[in-house]
């Protein structure tokens, strides 16, 4: 098949974020190989505030010589259910390494809002765009609210979020990206049937280990990207261990990277089709994602939900692709 015709057009919606940064780097490696086209990055508040996630997204693009890609500033959610996640990702969102990266060329104050960029691109390329959503769904919900029906114009919306048959990571039942704004998640779940959901059920086994960073670094120890990968992996490993995210195994969870595995290495994942919903009210369970597992006829499924991941194969692809990124 002609790659130029089939390569996905992507909008990356993200809140970098240590694991967002690793997903970012994986995507950059695939864009450099001309396996994907990155149309825009829509940043959003989540792991840290909106200005920091915007700045981090710009810096990550610049580090990889993609500074011409437009970055949107996140729509601000006025009512916050839960706090940012600086205790995991560092006060700057990037393991306190943001100052080691190139200064952003785009300005937060002059940037367009992320929902406007989503609306513009989805209108320009109906049915063609894959949205990779690595963060609270605030931007996507805002786009749908401003332009009803717009999310149906996406080819696919790939979401890292939710927890179905496992404990949550910010409350006993809920996962961070969904719990940050259950209302936004509800809008997205109710307005697209082309969702792919990668929940904690699969990402909890994705521990990126120091020896993987080491293997990548050996290809080109001097490169700026290598230095960043090593330092970020080290910083994330420390916070992850102290928050007991990896059962004491040295490393950290690259939750967001699994979205790229779905798109480019789908043989690493298994899915079931379901109607996914989210709890928006309730004392103990806001942000809990649910689908009906009872065995009776159902209609109106909206999502493919990942059930299992082959982490060895996923990491084999991840490490090899990152090697090609740092090689040049």
> By the criterion CB under 6 A, which residues form the site for ligand BDR?
17, 19-20, 47, 85, 134-135, 160, 169, 175-177, 255-256
**β-pair type (207-208, 252-253):** antiparallel
- Distance, in Å, from the CA atom of 279 to the CA atom of 310, rounded to the nearest integer, reads 29
Residue with tokens 């050996």: 218
Peptide bond into 280 cis (omega under 30): no
Of residues 48 and 142, the one with the C-beta less far from Ca ion: 48
**209: CB partners within 8 A, 6+ apart:** 249, 250, 251
Q: How far is CA 174 from CA 45, 199, 287, in A?
A: 18, 10, 5
Nearer of residues 177 and 285 to Ca ion, judged by Cβ = 177
Which of 85/153 has CB closer to Ca ion?
85
Q: Which residue, 59 or 255, has its beta carbon nearer to ligand BDR?
A: 255
Active-site entry in 87, 255, 295, 296: 255
Q: Outline where 98-149 has alpha helix (H).
A: 114-124, 138-146
CB of 305 to ligand BDR, least distance (A): 15
Residue number with the shortest CB distance to ligand BDR? 176
- Least Cα distance to 197 among 172, 148, 163 occurs for 163
Nearer Cβ to ligand BDR (144/245): 245
Q: Cα separation of 23 and 259, whole Å?
A: 8
Which residue, 239, 166, 173, 171, is CA-closest to 205? Answer: 166
Cα angle for residues 31, 34, 36 (degrees, 5° grid): 55
CB of residue 46 vs ligand BDR: minimum separation in angstroms? 6
Q: Of the two residues 117 and 258, which places its CB atom closer to ligand BDR in the complex?
A: 258
- Residue 48 is a binding residue for Ca ion (CB under 5 A): no
Beta carbon of residue 288, minimum distance to ligand BDR (angstroms, whole number):
13
176 binds, among Ca ion, ligand BDR, none (CB under 5 to 8 A by kind): ligand BDR
20, 92, 116, 279: residue in contact with Ca ion (rule CB under 5 A): 20
CB of 130 to ligand BDR, least distance (A): 17
Residues 250-309 binding Ca ion (CB under 5 A) are: 256
Q: Which does 175 bind (CB under 5 to 8 A by kind): Ca ion, ligand BDR, none?
A: ligand BDR
Q: Is 255 part of the annotated catalytic residue set? A: yes
Site string for Ca ion, 206-245 (x = CB under 5 A): ----------------------------------------
Q: How far is CA 79 from CA 114, 174, 278, 309, in A?
A: 18, 17, 18, 35
Q: Residue 13, interface with Ca ion (CB under 5 A)? A: no
Smallest distance from Ca ion to CB 235, Å: 16
d(CA 230, CA 46): 24
Q: Distance between CA 98 and CA 102 in Å, rounded? A: 8
* Residues involved in catalysis: 255
Q: Give the footprint of Ca ion on this chain (CB under 5 A).
A: 15, 17, 20, 134-135, 256
């Amino acid at each position: 098949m002609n790659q130029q015709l089939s390569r996905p057009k992507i909008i990356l919606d993200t809140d970098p974020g240590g694991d967002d940064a690793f997903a970012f780097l994986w995507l950059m490696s695939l864009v450099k190989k001309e396996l994907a086209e990155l149309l825009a990055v829509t940043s959003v508040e989540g792991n840290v505030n909106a200005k920091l996630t915007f700045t981090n997204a710009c810096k990550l693009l610049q580090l990889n010589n993609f500074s011409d890609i437009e970055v949107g500033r996140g729509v601000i959610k006025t009512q916050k259910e839960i706090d940012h996640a600086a205790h995991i990702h560092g006060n700057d969102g990037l393991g306190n390494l943001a100052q080691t990266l190139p200064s952003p060329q785009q300005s937060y104050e002059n940037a367009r809002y992320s929902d406007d960029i989503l609306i513009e691109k989805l209108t320009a390329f109906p049915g063609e765009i894959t949205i990779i959503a690595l963060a609270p769904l605030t931007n996507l919900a805002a786009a749908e609210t401003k332009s009803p029906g717009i999310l149906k114009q996406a080819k696919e919306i790939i979401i890292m979020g939710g927890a179905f048959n496992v404990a949550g990571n910010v409350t006993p039942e809920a996962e961070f990206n969904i719990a940050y704004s259950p209302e936004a998640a509800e809008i997205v779940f109710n307005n697209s049937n082309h969702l792919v959901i990668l929940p904690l059920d699969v990402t909890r086994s994705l521990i990126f280990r120091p020896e993987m960073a080491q293997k990548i670094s050996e290809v080109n120890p001097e490169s700026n990207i290598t230095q960043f990968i090593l330092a970020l992996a080290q910083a994330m490993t420390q916070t992850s261990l102290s928050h007991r995210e990896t059962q004491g195994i040295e490393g950290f969870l690259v939750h967001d990277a699994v979205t790229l595995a779905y798109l480019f290495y789908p043989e690493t994942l298994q899915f079931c089709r379901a109607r996914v919903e989210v709890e928006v009210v309730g004392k103990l369970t806001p942000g809990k994602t649910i689908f009906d597992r009872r065995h009776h006829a159902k209609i109106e499924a909206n999502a493919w939900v990942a059930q299992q991941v082959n982490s060895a194969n996923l990491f084999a692809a991840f490490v090899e692709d990152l090697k090609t990124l740092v090689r040049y």
